[in-house]
Amino acid sequence: MNKDTLKILVTGAAGFIGAALCKKLIFKRIKVIGIDNLNSYYDIKLKKSRLIDITESSFFDADLWSFHEGDLRDNELLETIFKENTPNVVVNLAAQAGVRYSLENPSSYIQTNLVGFSNVIEICRRFNVENFVYASSSSVYGSNTELPYDERQNVDHPLSLYAATKRSNELIAHSYSNLYNIPATGLRFFTVYGPWGRPDMAPMLFAKAILKREEIFVYNSGKMSRDFTYIDDIVEVIYRCCLKPATPDKGFRKGFPNPSTSFSPHRIFNVGNNSSINLMEFIDILEIEFGIKAKKIFKPMQPGDVLDTYANVEDIKSWVNFTPKTSLRFGIKKFAKWFLDFHANEYENLLKKF
């Protein structure tokens, strides 16, 4: 696709990945339409700060940006936005996130991740959107123990409702690709970290607790590993997929189906760092960056969690010619600097006490 003619609608535009993507697209001189309901799952001030950061970037152009506060369950709002803006690419990043929260509030996941997702892809059909890119998750691999995770593996045994909704998104998207010829690309993100991250995720929780000299909970006695993936690498992959709609797999064999491709224009890719880092190593590097030792409290494994994640990224490398470039040490350094800068007033006096 020609980037000069693109109008990209991004749902979840005030979220961690969404806001970073919007900045990237504006930097590339692409028209962006953002939607977000600014819900209170975590601090709304952080979401609003991300939106401000977009408009205060040195390359910001107001002609390339519009933002709409609203919910994907509101079909009238979606209708109005699509009529006024006629996007030709849609990136769906809006979702109720968090594995553990899905145990407490399952209805939120059904409403946002299933009803909201269905509304978005249906209006894409009605307005003849040329490319639909959507966020899936490494959590769909569930109880799989074979590492690295490969897109050809079975993903029919999710360990949480969150994972089940993400797998459902993949199936819904495939059916729309098959029935209506909508090019759809599902991206299975592995643990994303970096500046402007979600406060409910381990990097933010650990950073806050370490600086406040509070205890951090380390589950399964730290015997867990994650494929930590830096935000810039995630956003670069999404951007490249915006420029390359999914196509049918000409070599697809129905007798021996590849779960990640199709006879329809639907593709699924892992997006990770292609390395699995022990959680204790991640904490060690964070301690070095802050110059403070963490007070670790070791806990048992939590329901819905998996022991290890590790992404095989050969398929996405072949598809958009991208290999993750950010090392864990460099990524944590960037994250730690942002965290201290963003929370300067909160932690300045605290740091002086020690």
Annotated catalytic residues are 162
For the chain, first and last CA: distance in Å?
A: 55
Cα→Cα distances 15→39, 180, 331, Å: 10, 29, 19
| CB of 123 closer than 8 Å to CB of 78 | yes
H/E/C letters for each residue in the chain?
A: CCHHHCEEEEECCCCHHHHHHHHHHHHCCCEEEEEECCCCCCCHHHHHHHHHHHHCCCCCCHHHEEEEECCCCCHHHHHHHHHHHCCCEEEECCCCCCCCHHHHCHHHHHHHHHHHHHHHHHHHHHCCCCEEEEEEEHHHHCCCCCCCECCCCCCCCCCCHHHHHHHHHHHHHHHHHHHHCCCEEEEEECCEECCCCCCCCHHHHHHHHHHCCCEEEEEHHHCCEECCEEHHHHHHHHHHHHCCCCCCCCCCCCCCCCCCCCCCCEEEEEECCCCCEEHHHHHHHHHHHHCCCCEEEEECCCCCCCCECCECCHHHHHHHCCCCCCCHHHHHHHHHHHHHHHCHHHHHHHHHCC
